[in-house]
Amino acid sequence: MNEFEWRRQMRQLQQSHAPRRDLWPAIDAALDLAVAHPPARTTWRRTLAGVAVAASLLLVVGVGWHQWFAPSAPVESAGTTGHADWKPVDPRLAGAAIELDAARLELQLAIEQAPDSAALHRLLRHTERQQAQLRQLADRAG
């Protein structure tokens, strides 16, 4: 097949072709049948989707409720953590350790001013977890 034959065949594809028989009566009958008798699988899927949405909503509300009303652990004062003097050997990790320690100290000062702030307590716990991860990373790096 050369390019001229290929182009001729492509032009023939651009022309409209009528189907051998009228398709609309069969399509209409199939739609009527589907509306009158929905398959059990569709009903089951809708039910399952509804249950999944309800469970997801319940999970989100439960987590939000726990975060909002969870009692916060008492925060230690700045000098009692025992990790203020920890400095990793790697200078990249040392910089991160200094930043995390400064953030922890600032959060502890802010908690002294607003001891009932759940958000500050969450941030402090998150910062302390980051410090613990950094210590593990430094130990693995050796």
Provide the domain limits for residue 34.
Answer: 28-69
The model's pTM is 0.40
Q: Are residues 65 and 86 in the same domain?
A: no
Q: C-alpha 69: how far from its chain's center? A: 23
pLDDT score for 77? 44
pLDDT score for 125? 92
CA distance 84 to 71: 26
Q: Are residues 109 and 55 in the same domain?
A: no
The tally of domains found in the chain comes to: 2
Residues in the chain: 142
As a whole number, the mean pLDDT across the chain is 80
CB-based contact 129:104 (threshold 8 Å): no
Whether 134 is covered by a domain: the verdict is yes
* Least confident window among 10-14, 18-22, 58-62, 64-68: 64-68
pLDDT score for 40? 67
Burial code of 61-83, b = ≥16 C-beta within 10 A, e = fewer? eeeeeeeeeeebeebeeeeebee
CB-based contact 93:63 (threshold 8 Å): no
Look-up of token digits 């977890």 = 129
Q: Are residues 83 and 125 in the same domain?
A: yes
pLDDT over 80 (residue 82): no
**Whose CA is closest to 76, among 128, 130, 129?**
128
pLDDT over 70 (residue 100): yes
